């Protein structure tokens, strides 16, 4: 009953005509962002944060708008996966495996609608899971002291590193880059600048929005200059779109199972949506067996990764809201949004600002329904968006990024730093160094150091205090396992190769 009254509170906050209008705008914009090749949920939301902030929306409205964009981009990602065989972001990769073959068989419309329904089921179930699980996890989180928090941050970096790259050292190095950048600025306890090299511009530290927009959006420009925008034209035709009731009915258990798998994968700090869609696809593939035809364009192969992906996106909100530790790149960007709005996620958020949490959950539910209603009839409009040529799209995105940062800080230095991050992002991605740990490091570095410092002050410099409680020992063990295990599981967890023409 508690949940129902909380939910009523949430809907009371989120269900005004104005916020509904924002939700519809956000969903529309988000689907377009997700559908455009080269723009995914992370960089789409990242570009829009500074602009939303300058618009002067209040916290709830901004949250509704951005979560709608976020969910919309998750929905939209499947459009370019299915029609172009280009995943909008990493979690959408698994959708290309069966979605593109299905589109080539002339069933592009069916694949799009089916994946839309699967996304809806996954996201809806995950939001319900979030409502059930998050409050109890928030209560557990009250037991966390500085030692536990330090171990938890470590766990996030270790599992993220383990999953994100083929080379553990590179992932760990990426996390160190982010953490190292987070240390720049005036130290909170001494009031003296640290590691600024004497530059006044760095006294405030490096704004994480500058880093996110640079690493995600500006880096993309360089990739498009390298490829000259090739490979972004539609190869398959989309004639008539109708609802494939039979396919939806046939894949109902697949959707439910995949949502469960995806949700659990999403909850693991640092694992995120890529793991969710991957595990969901592989589970369904092994249940169907060799005669299931996975990889040749079967409806189950489209439904499974989409349900898993969207369920993981919801699941990733559980550690993000209760512990302040995001589970994926996109939730890291959402955490950045909350921090920009001066909302600190953590267990106290649930007791002190319930209207924010439940308003967010209600807006997730609203966005989900709006997206389903919008996507089935309007899918043809979104497909038109794919026709925008790269030589208009990428300069446009770059200019929007600049204006966003310019209106946020008004400083040429931040814009130059953003270009620097863009160049860095290009080289990191070329060298197979994941960029999400860099972002996470910049976001969480300050909190992680605070936890360590408070632990050291409490224990008077005794290092064993970090391993003194059962919770922290468990987290340390999980962190080490999460970092080491993928090295041995690499052969088992091998990703299937993408379909080529």
Partner 1 sequence: MASDRIFGLITLITAVAYIAAATQIQTNFFSGEFLPKLFPLLIGGVAAICSLSIIFRADPDPDWPGGPTWISMAIAVVVLAIYAVLLKPLGFIGPTIFAAGILSYQISFRPVASILSGFGLSLGLFVLFKYALGLGNIVAYRIPKEGQLWDALAILIPFVGGH
Contacts with partner 1, residue ranges (CB under 8 A): 51, 54-55, 166-167, 169-170, 172-173, 176-177, 179-180, 183, 187, 189-195, 197, 218, 221-222, 224-226, 228-229, 389-392, 394-396, 398-400, 402-403, 406-407, 410, 412, 415-416, 418-419, 422-423, 426-427, 430-433, 448-449, 452-453, 456-457, 461
Minimum CB separation of residue 117 from partner 1 in Å reads 33
Residues whose CB is less than 8 angstroms from the CB of residue 40 and which lie 6 or more positions away in sequence, other chains included: 33, 34, 73, 77, 88, 89, 90, 92, 330
d(CA 478, CA 338): 27
d(CA 389, CA 392): 6
- Least spacing, CB of residue 414 vs partner 1, in Å: 9
The string of DSSP letters for 398-457 reads: HHHHHHHHHHHH--HHHHHHHHHHHHHHHHHHHTT--SHHHHHHHHHHHHHHHHHHHHHH
Closest CB to partner 1 among residues 253, 391: 391
Helix (H, G, I), strand (E, B) or coil at 240: coil
Q: What share of the chain is helix, strand, coil (3-state, %, to 5)?
A: 75, 0, 20
Q: Which is nearer to partner 1, 126 or 181 (CB)?
A: 181
- Min separation Cβ 232 and partner 1, Å: 11
Q: Give the side-chain half-sphere CA count within 13 A for 133.
A: 20
| Minimum CB distance to partner 1 smaller for 245 or for 412 | 412
280, two tokens:
């969901």
Shorter beta-carbon distance to partner 1: residue 238 or 418: 418
> Judged by CB, which is closer to partner 1: 187, or 462?
187
Instruction: Say if CB 248 and CB 306 are below 8 A apart.
Output: no
Distance of closest approach, residue 217 Cβ to partner 1, in angstroms: 12
Q: What is the DSSP string of 33-56?
A: HHHSTT--HHHHHHHHHHHHHHHT
CB 324 within 8 A of CB 348: no
Nearer to partner 1, 163 or 356 (CB): 163
Cβ distance to partner 1 smaller for residue 161 or 301: 161
Whichever of 151 and 218 has its CB closer to partner 1, that residue is: 218
Residue 42: CB minimum distance to partner 1, A: 21
Q: Which residues contact 202 (CB under 8 A, 6 or more apart)?
A: 184, 185, 193, 196
- What's the min distance (Å) between Cβ of 88 and partner 1? 19
CB of 408 to partner 1, least distance (A): 10
Residue 426 beta carbon to partner 1: minimum distance, rounded to whole angstroms:
8
Alpha-carbon dihedral angle through residues 292, 294, 296, 298, given to the nearest 10 degrees: 70
């Amino acid at each position: 009953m508690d949940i129902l009254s909380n939910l009523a509170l949430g809907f009371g906050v989120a269900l005004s005509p104005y916020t509904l209008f924002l939700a519809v705008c956000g969903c529309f914009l988000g689907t377009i962002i997700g559908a455009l090749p080269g723009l995914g949920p992370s960089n789409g939301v990242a570009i829009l944060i500074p602009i939303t902030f300058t618009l002067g929306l209040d916290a709830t409205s901004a949250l509704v708008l951005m979560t709608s964009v976020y969910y919309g981009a998750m929905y939209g990602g499947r459009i370019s996966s299915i029609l172009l065989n280009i995943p909008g972001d990493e979690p959408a990769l698994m959708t290309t495996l069966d979605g593109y073959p299905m589109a080539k068989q002339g069933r592009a419309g069916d694949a799009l609608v089916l994946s839309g329904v699967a996304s809806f089921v996954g996201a809806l179930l995950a939001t319900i899971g979030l409502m059930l699980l998050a409050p109890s996890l928030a209560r557990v989180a009250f037991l966390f002291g500085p030692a536990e928090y330090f171990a938890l941050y470590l766990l996030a970096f270790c599992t993220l590193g383990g999953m994100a790259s083929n080379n553990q050292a590179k992932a760990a190095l990426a996390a160190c880059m982010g953490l190292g950048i987070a240390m720049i600025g005036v130290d909170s306890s001494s009031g003296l600048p640290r590691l600024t090299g004497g530059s006044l511009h760095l006294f405030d530290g490096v704004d994480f929005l500058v880093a996110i927009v640079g690493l995600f959006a500006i880096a993309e420009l360089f990739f498009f200059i390298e490829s000259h925008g090739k490979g972004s034209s539609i190869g398959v035709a989309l004639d008539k779109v109708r609802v494939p009731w039979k396919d939806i009915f046939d894949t109902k258990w697949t959707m439910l199972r995949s949502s469960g798998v995806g949700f659990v994968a999403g909850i693991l700090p640092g694992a995120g949506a890529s793991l969710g869609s991957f595990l969901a696809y592989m589970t369904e593939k092994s249940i169907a067996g060799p005669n299931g035809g996975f990889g040749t364009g079967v409806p189950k192969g489209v439904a499974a990764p989409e349900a898993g992906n969207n369920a993981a996106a919801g699941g990733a909100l559980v550690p993000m809201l209760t512990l302040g530790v995001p589970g994926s790149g996109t939730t890291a960007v959402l955490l950045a949004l909350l921090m920009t709005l001066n909302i600190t996620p953590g267990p106290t958020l649930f007791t002190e600002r319930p209207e924010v949490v439940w308003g967010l959950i209600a807006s997730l539910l609203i966005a989900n329904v709006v997206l389903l209603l919008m996507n089935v009839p309007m899918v043809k409009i979104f497909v038109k968006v794919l026709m925008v040529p790269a030589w208009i799209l990428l300069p446009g995105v770059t200019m929007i990024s600049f204006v966003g940062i310019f209106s946020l800080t008004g400083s040429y230095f931040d814009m130059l730093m953003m270009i620097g991050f863009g160049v860095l992002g290009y080289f990191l991605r070329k060298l197979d160094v994941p960029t999400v740990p860099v972002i996470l490091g910049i976001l969480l570095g300050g909190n992680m150091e605070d936890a360590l410092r408070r632990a050291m002050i409490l224990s008077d410099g005794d290092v064993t205090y970090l391993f003194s409680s059962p919770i922290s020992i468990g987290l340390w063990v999980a962190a080490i396992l999460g970092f080491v295990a993928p090295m041995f599981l690499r052969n088992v967890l091998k990703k299937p190769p993408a379909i080529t023409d």
